Amino acid sequence: MSDPYDICSALAVLYEFAIDDNQRKNLGQYFTPLQVAKDAIYLLALECGDTVLDPGCGTGIFPITILKEFSERHEDAALLQYLGIENDPLLALSAAVSLDWVDAPNTWRILYANFLAVESKDLKSYDYPPKVNAIVANPPFVRSRKLGERNSLMNSLSLSGYSGLHSFFLAHSAKLLERNGGRMVFIVPVEMKQTRYGSNLLERLKSDFEVIFKGVYYNRENRIWSVLDIEKVTFEKCMHQVMTLVFFQSGVDGRPLPRGKSKRDVIVPLVSFASVHRGISTGANSFFVLTDEEVKEVEIPKDFLKKVIPTKIPLPIVFEPKDWEECKRAGKPCWLLSLPSRIPFEDLPTTLRQYIKKGESRGIHLIPTCRNRQPWYHIKIPRVPDLVFTYMFRQYPKFVYNKAQAYNLTNLLSVYLNVPVERADDTMMTVTELLNSELKKWIDQEPVGRRYRGGLVKFEPRDLWVMPVSESALGKMEIGLSRLVL
């Protein structure tokens, strides 16, 4: 694995191969997709000092996601308490292995137990604070007729006899949660809101909690998971809702509740007509990204160079050819070395072979990103993006029309329009301006993105996928709903 945080996903795949499908179905074992786990943890808004309970923790997707988020925020995860509970011995062991693999804090624990038998008074005996203020769960989905202990559970939690195991997990979690400032994120089946047993439980919980529902959608064509507001987003033609994510918050603890989007007739996500990807990762910009003077000094033929947007420059809403030329004259690194893999090393021009050898003497070929490429100096080049996106910002990010037709590095996100849009300058300017307008409205309405100290905010590609775009804006872009790839 190139990323140690992938350990829980790898163990989930191995478990699925090892255990019969019918057995897993009877136990209600459905593993949480990584994108959905990230959205759940983002909603939970964890901070140092929180106590997190993870019922039915599986192979550990939630604690791994928490660790990665805290690492990106440069905060110490050891200041947060975590307890995962799992009653499948193989999965409990897998979760413990996941935590060891990523060097989780020693205070984090996996408990092999039946969550529904765990009470608040028991938590102290597991070296865990008895007051839980955050719970995240994707509970087993087992229907009522398959629950052997249904009668005792019904009486203890005052639930309908038609309730599935996920309802019992939710009701029991509500009992354990601290009433003043506690919050929960649960992934439940769509039927939770549609059945009497589910709606009755949710209405009961609304007396103690603020409740917000979000739909979990899966685009089979693009293999993309998204979490979006159910009431505000209507695009069933392009995404099929497969689960519901429910956010509960009790009392007031200073954290803003997720807010709804402004009312519009039709809202579609950006991913329905555009794709967003990370920029080109060279592994060593000092070697692969060159100034015009360096290109001339090394004598690199122009056939092996691509125009690239330099890093650390202010970007206007339109990056024009003249802007790139100005960067080149100013000595900015604006050429990307592009060596095709199909040309054998010995067939490359002499000057290039010498430059590659010089890079190897500097150890460039040993850098992980380079080491994983064959040959190490070959960078896979995508198509030129239509727009780029400034994903690290302190006030507002922005879409930039890439009129210069230059590639971008990892300091920017690449945005490709996947619908037939006239590429004339005035049309692309309209698209860019409208996307920035929709983006500003979205940011003003919701606490989107990943927020760090000093007011810095960061967008991952998946954060931008779900950006809502109104039908009226699409019309002005001359992108009608009938033209979308739904």
Q: Name every residue whose Cβ is closer than 8 Å to that of residue 366 and which is 6 or more positions away in sequence.
A: none
Cα 169 from chain centre: 25
Q: Can you give the pLDDT at residue 179? A: 65
Q: Can you give the pLDDT at residue 265? A: 44
This prediction has a pTM of 0.55
Residue 400 has pLDDT above 70, yes or no: yes
Closest CA to 118 of 87, 81, 144, 96: 87
In three-state secondary structure terms, 269 is strand
Element (H, E) at 243: strand 240-249
In terms of C-beta density within 10 A (0-12 exposed, 13-18 middle, 19 or more buried), how is residue 453 classed?
A: exposed
Instruction: Determine phi and psi for 183, rounding to 5 degrees.
Output: -150, 155
Residue 276 has pLDDT above 80, yes or no: yes
Q: Rounded CA gap, 199 and 114, in Å?
A: 25
pLDDT bin (cut points 50, 70, 90) of residue 45 is confident
Q: What is the 3-state secondary structure (H, E, C) of 429-441?
A: HHHHHHHHHHHHH
Alpha helices in 89-158 (DSSP H): 89-101, 120-123, 150-157
Q: Name every residue whose Cβ is closer than 8 Å to that of residue 416 and which is 6 or more positions away in sequence.
A: 274, 275, 276, 277, 383, 385, 386
Q: Can you give the pLDDT at residue 180? A: 65
Residue 420 has pLDDT above 60, yes or no: yes
Residue 161 has pLDDT above 80, yes or no: no
Residues of the chain with CATH 3.40.50.150: 4-258
Residue 235 has pLDDT above 70, yes or no: no
pLDDT bin (cut points 50, 70, 90) of residue 252 is very low
DSSP 8-state secondary structure symbol assigned to residue 453: G
Alpha-carbon torsion (436, 438, 444, 447), positive or negative: negative
pLDDT bin (cut points 50, 70, 90) of residue 264 is very low
Q: Can you give the pLDDT at residue 366? A: 93
Alpha helices in 73-131 (DSSP H): 89-101, 120-123
Q: Judge contact between 319 and 404, C-beta under 8 A.
A: yes
Q: Can you give the pLDDT at residue 256? A: 45
- Enter the tokens of residue 308: 């690239």
Q: Is 299 or 159 the better-scoring residue by pLDDT?
A: 299
Q: Name every residue whose Cβ is closer than 8 Å to that of residue 300 and which is 6 or more positions away in sequence.
A: 290, 335, 337, 351, 352, 355
Least confident piece of the model among 72-76, 82-86, 208-212: 72-76
4-258 CATH, one of 3.40.50.720, 3.40.50.620, 3.40.50.1820, 3.40.50.150: 3.40.50.150
